[in-house]
A and B are shown apart, each in its own frame.
Chain A
Amino acid sequence: MKDTDIKKLLYAHLLCIFSIILSVLIPPLFLENFSILETHLTWLCICSGVVTAVNLVLYLVVKPNTSSKRSSLSHKVTRVLKCCIYFLMSCFIFHVIFVLYGAPLIELVLETFLFAVILSTFTTVPCLCLLGPRLKAWLRVFSRNGVTSIWENSLQITTISSLVGAWLGAFPIPLDWERPWQVWPISCTLGATFGYVAGLLISPLWIYWNRKQLSYKNN
């Protein structure tokens, strides 16, 4: 593992963070009455779109997954289609999990679903980019001692931190402060976003500090 790799990782992550900041700052120029809290759903759509785009661009430019071989066009197309299906599946699974956690079943369906979309954007999209639609690889990455490169390591960290952020974001809901951001699902989406950003920041630093101890099996 070289320092250049870590540097690359850091720049990629900074780009992601920058895109999230832009998703907050740019829309008010075009849309009237835009604010994160009041037109929350719009922001969710914009943010997930931007993050997905940046992830795709990064994947195409950086190509961290060196192991992927040249393959035919049809193979590529099926791959892309599979990715889309996986993404939708993950949105639905997240939605089901939120309902199981106690989100209202009938009311606020759109809100819950968009929360599922943004959480999928933070977790599933990077996984799909990096690992492709292979569940075994996903399970391997998310079990202990299963990572094989710094990219996978950082993927593990960002995914877990955005999930944990969403999880922690549910805590303020029962408090009786009556703030606008305590409404479902705003605190959770904000929690997920902060978790994702924190993961993006932490993972290069963590990898840098632990670069002596880290040894990947494939390297």
Chain B
Amino acid sequence: MRLGSGTFAACCVVIEVLGIAVFLRGFFPVPVRSSAGAEHRTEPPAPEPSAGSSSNWTKLPPPLFSKVVIVLIDALRDDFLFGSKGVKFMPYTTYLVEKGASHSFVAEAKPPTVTMPRIKALTTGSLPGFVDVVRNLNSPTLLEDNVIRQAKAAGKRMIFYGDETWVKLFPKHFVEYDGTTSFFVSDYTEVDNNVTRHLDKVLKREDWDMLILHYLGLDHIGHISGPSSPLIGHKLSEMDNILMKIHTSLLSQEREGLSPSLLVLCGDHGMSDTGSHGASSTGEVNTPLILISSAFERKPGDIRHPKRVQQTDLAATLAIGLSVPIPKDSVGSLIVPVIEGRPMRDQMRFLHLNTVQLSKLLQENVPSYEKDPGFEQFKVSEKLHGNWIKLYLEESHSEVLFNLGTKVLRQYLDALKTLSLALSTQVAQYDVYSMMVGTAVVLEVLTLLLLSIPQALRRQAKVDIPLSSPAFSLLFYLMFLVLSAIHIIVCTSAESSCYFCGLLWPVAGGVMVLMSALLCAIVSVLTKMFISKSLPSKNPAHPNSRWSELDLLIVFGTVGHVLSLGASSFVEEEHQTWYFLVNTLCLALSQELYRNCFLEDDGEPQHHFHMEPGIVDATPGLPYRTGCDVWEQDTVRERLSLSDMLRGREKWMALASPWLILACCRLLRSLNQTGVQWAHRPDFGHWLTSSDHKAELSILAALSLLVIFLLVQGGCSPVSRAALLLGLLGVYCYRVAIGNVLFPWQQDNRDIAKGIIEARFVYVFVLGILFTGTKDLLKSQVIATDFKIKTVGLWEIHSGLVLLAALLFRPHNLPVLAFSLLIQTVLTKFIWKPLRHDAAEITVMHYWFGQAFFYFQGNSNNIATVDISAGFVGLDTYVEIPAMFLTAFGTYAGPVLWASHLVHFLSSVSSDSALSHACFCYALICSIPVSTYIILVTSLRYHLFIWSVFSPKLLYEGMHLLITAAICVFFTAMDQASLTNS
């Protein structure tokens, strides 16, 4: 099958988008979520089941504990307490564990073992997924149902001291709090003293119901010197003393006649043997959990080994203990020893509440919940429970009651265990199988793209895809069989749920057919290459294509950028990489310009050949290059030297142009500081947006709009020129209406409107310009001779996009748009046209500038910098699809505008194959980083920063690929149009 290389590339990118989608679905498993999560209406608690005569116990049982103190020690590993260190450094706690009225457990934390998700797990009882973070768009508040919220709703008064994360997660929940930052890792004493200093005062008072203490010191010591450091011992004995202080104070209060209180000692995550955390080694996931209360009975000599529980179980237990509803999304099960001292009817009631909550969650998340063994057990035990209540109310024989009750309890426990397991495995780990499938598809496509470079960049720009080759049909069927076998084996043996297994059979089969077809294509292309190599070389011109400095820079820049994505700092500061590369590109261009200018100047005609070594090689017979010249027709015959093309003043302007571009880039760089390390530096953007500088901002915005108009209007038809003018005026009016900028005649302090009319006014013009552009393109299709119309049409589409971007950008970002147009004009006029780069080089330069402008706009690889306000421009309320489209366009305006400029530029300097070459290069240069990045992320999935740094970047990459696919399809459409023309 022969395809144009543009079409081929577009198909490849579309398939890659599919692969990435499967990968993302596997990487970010959709968490188990109750559908009633958003609004927090309190449902009445499930009534006690009963058979026959009704039980009227519908309220929640009374609280078990009057007060709860939670002591959370960051990075407390289980062997710090239960091992030899505990005996040595924590004598009081060890005494409580071994002989006191307490229950001790080893609570298992799920990766990522990082503080914030672990706090979420402890309080909501759910296993937070990264998707939550995206859903809340980095709003730090915990929106899911949780124990703290429920306790506040029940009127409990809570006090918190410790890690600031809690204050961010639960704003306005605590009547009193003092957050300490974990910013200075080297500080491990002050950070804890700041917590302990409040303790004496608080313990004397009686006006609180819940006290939460989060100690960070141990974690800091771990990060500094690891788990075997002597500092750990000191810190542990300090913690032991604190625990003793709290416990004795609680006991003395109980003696004064209060009901029993509960003291919880736990860790949020453990510590690996090097002292870090985040991954899933035994040391990191095993944390101690000790519940201390005088309500727990213990016979002397009763030695218990700590049992294993899940960290998520604490939320349900606390909810029962405080007599508040169990959080809706909790997947944990009640820790049974806590309620062992209660009467049997109460115990059943508690277990029933927990089971009902879990089975509701199961119903909402699993379609075939009725067949789930846990649900069946739940039904059985509920029935037994009802029978038991009936007997109980009829006051039957106590021994019968007891025996039956024990059976019901056991039944409930089994149901709980099964339900909890079924729910937690849904989100427990990465869905590796889906990730592998996605990666395989993406890598196959990338290999195919790389292998077809020589074919695709030839003059005809055609690629042979031997899909139907019969020699490989056997391989194809074999591959398909093997893949299906793997699929069946994986899906039947997998313990956790897997997205790819959950797909319908035809869909999964389709993906497997695709995979095997791609593999066959790769194999056949490879064989073809070997065959053509082993033949006596038909094209002797092949090897002597030397790369220019620019090509080297492009290759090394791309490779360097891709490799830099493996380091978290480079991902955070990716804008620096792009600025650096773009600057270097400008310098390389200026060097090329200068050499061409000065060395040709004094050269006589016969000198010409020697002095132009970059373009004409030692063998002047075949100037074969990696790409093909855009200006194929006029290269040899009438090669105009640069000095001929640019005369006098123009030449000097050309020489100054790279420096102008560099200066523009420098200005834009200080407009928006992004990234992490230098984000706090002052920048022009903040200065402009502060309310004192409204006048300056207005002038700047008006100037930028003027520059935009002047630069864009040249290529348009008169109608769209007028539309553009009105549209840009409308943009300014819109900004005035929403109060960003001012009219000169206007006083300050006007009431702020939503500016809906103005914005819609602009939208009309955007659509009008786009429509005119499309019309022109269609016209050029019909009237094959008129080449000019097509260029105008493409420019009109470009200017429509510019107008839309001008509307969506915040006013202080309008200079970005103006400068981008200015740089495009300068590059076109003085560099690309005179120097005659080939299509591949021009494409890569456009891509680099597009990426740099993505960051000039103020974007970064953090979700928080996405400007969501762009989605509300001209909309009354939040409408999902337009808002998403507008936000995406506003965010990726830089790359999109540069790509649309590329299309216009390449079709204006006529060459048949330039567009398809450009499309191919664009697809390739975009898919190399994505494919490498998903491999990097897969191997770094237990990295400490996987949630904060790498996952947001992954989402950005996915989105970027989607936009690239759209761009490539547009390219191909234009290419097809020009093909039918010729």
Enumerate chain A interface residues (CB-CB to B < 8 A). 97, 99-102, 135-136, 139-140, 142-146, 167, 170, 173-176
Any chain A CB within 8 A of the CB of B665? yes
Known: A136-B598, A139-B594. A102 touches B569 (CB 8 A): no
Determine the distance from Cα of A175 to Cα of B570 in the docked complex, in whole angstroms.
7
Give the residues in chain A near B614, CB-CB below 8 Å.
143-144
Interface of chain A: mostly helix, strand, loop or mixed: loop
Give the residues in chain A near B594, CB-CB below 8 Å.
139
Whether the Cβ atoms of A100 and B598 lie closer than 8 Å is no
Chain B 900-935 interface mask (CB, 8 Å, partner A; 1/0):
000000000000000000000000000000000000
Extra contacts, 12 of them, besides A99-B666, A100-B662, A101-B579 (Cβ < 8 A), are A100-B666, A101-B583, A102-B580, A136-B602, A142-B595, A144-B546, A145-B610, A146-B613, A174-B675, A174-B677, A175-B569, A176-B568
Determine the distance from Cα of A102 to Cα of B569 in the docked complex, in whole angstroms.
18
Smallest beta-carbon distance A47→chain B, Å: 25
When A and B form their complex, which 6 residue pairs have the shortest distance between CB atoms, in order from nearest? A174-B573, A144-B613, A145-B613, A100-B662, A175-B569, A176-B569
Give the residues in chain B near A175, CB-CB below 8 Å.
567, 569-570
Across the interface, B576 reaches (CB within 8 A) one of A102, A140, A143, A144, namely A102
Smallest beta-carbon distance A102→chain B, Å: 6
Determine the distance from Cα of A135 to Cα of B591 in the docked complex, in whole angstroms.
13
Give the residues in chain B near A173, CB-CB below 8 Å.
576
Across the interface, A143 reaches (CB within 8 A) one of B567, B572, B599, B663, namely B599
Whether the Cβ atoms of A97 and B587 lie closer than 8 Å is yes
Determine the distance from Cα of A142 to Cα of B613 in the docked complex, in whole angstroms.
12
Whether the Cβ atoms of B666 and A174 lie closer than 8 Å is no
Give the residues in chain A near B579, CB-CB below 8 Å.
101-102
Give the residues in chain A near B662, CB-CB below 8 Å.
97, 100
Known: A101-B583, A102-B576, A174-B576. A139 touches B569 (CB 8 A): no
Chain B 551-593 interface mask (CB, 8 Å, partner A; 1/0):
0000000000000000111101100100110011001000100
Determine the distance from Cα of A175 to Cα of B663 in the docked complex, in whole angstroms.
26
Give the residues in chain B near A170, CB-CB below 8 Å.
580
Give the residues in chain A near B580, CB-CB below 8 Å.
101-102, 170
Any chain A CB within 8 A of the CB of B669? yes
Whether the Cβ atoms of A135 and B584 lie closer than 8 Å is no
Determine the distance from Cα of A101 to Cα of B662 in the docked complex, in whole angstroms.
8
Whether the Cβ atoms of A174 and B569 lie closer than 8 Å is yes
Whether the Cβ atoms of A135 and B598 lie closer than 8 Å is yes
Whether the Cβ atoms of B598 and A102 lie closer than 8 Å is no
Q: Mark out the residues of chain B between 643 and 684 whose CB falls within 8 Å of any chain A CB in the assembled complex.
A: 662-663, 665-666, 669, 675, 677
Give the residues in chain B near A144, CB-CB below 8 Å.
546, 613-614
Give the residues in chain A near B669, CB-CB below 8 Å.
102
Interface of chain B: mostly helix, strand, loop or mixed: helix
Give the residues in chain A near B595, CB-CB below 8 Å.
139, 142-143
Chain B 595-608 interface mask (CB, 8 Å, partner A; 1/0):
10011001000000
Smallest beta-carbon distance A163→chain B, Å: 10
Across the interface, B583 reaches (CB within 8 A) one of A100, A139, A174, namely A100
Smallest beta-carbon distance B641→chain A, Å: 15
Give the residues in chain B near A174, CB-CB below 8 Å.
569-570, 572-573, 576, 675, 677
Determine the distance from Cα of A50 to Cα of B773 in the docked complex, in whole angstroms.
65
Smallest beta-carbon distance A122→chain B, Å: 17
Which residue on chain A has the smallest CB distance to residue B676? A176
Give the residues in chain A near B666, CB-CB below 8 Å.
99-100, 102
Give the residues in chain B near A139, CB-CB below 8 Å.
594-595, 598-599
Known: A101-B580, A143-B613, A145-B613. A176 touches B677 (CB 8 A): yes
Give the residues in chain B near A135, CB-CB below 8 Å.
598
Determine the distance from Cα of A167 to Cα of B585 in the docked complex, in whole angstroms.
13
Smallest beta-carbon distance B25→chain A, Å: 31
Determine the distance from Cα of A49 to Cα of B271 in the docked complex, in whole angstroms.
52
Which residue on chain B has the smallest CB distance to residue A170? B580
Determine the distance from Cα of A207 to Cα of B788 in the docked complex, in whole angstroms.
54
Smallest beta-carbon distance B571→chain A, Å: 10
Give the residues in chain B near A146, CB-CB below 8 Å.
613
Chain B 15-38 interface mask (CB, 8 Å, partner A; 1/0):
000000000000000000000000
Determine the distance from Cα of A8 to Cα of B303 in the docked complex, in whole angstroms.
86
Whether the Cβ atoms of A100 and B613 lie closer than 8 Å is no
Smallest beta-carbon distance A8→chain B, Å: 28
Determine the distance from Cα of A51 to Cα of B573 in the docked complex, in whole angstroms.
35
Determine the distance from Cα of A88 to Cα of B380 in the docked complex, in whole angstroms.
91
Give the residues in chain A near B569, CB-CB below 8 Å.
174-176
**Can you report 20 residue pairs joining A to B where beta carbons are below 8 Å apart?**
A99-B666, A100-B666, A101-B579, A101-B583, A102-B579, A102-B580, A102-B666, A139-B595, A139-B598, A140-B599, A142-B591, A143-B613, A143-B614, A144-B614, A145-B610, A146-B613, A167-B584, A174-B576, A175-B569, A176-B677
Give the residues in chain A near B576, CB-CB below 8 Å.
102, 173-174
Give the residues in chain A near B546, CB-CB below 8 Å.
144
Whether the Cβ atoms of A100 and B665 lie closer than 8 Å is yes
Give the residues in chain A near B677, CB-CB below 8 Å.
174, 176
Give the residues in chain B near A97, CB-CB below 8 Å.
587, 662
Give the residues in chain B near A102, CB-CB below 8 Å.
576, 579-580, 583, 666, 669
Give the residues in chain A near B613, CB-CB below 8 Å.
143-146
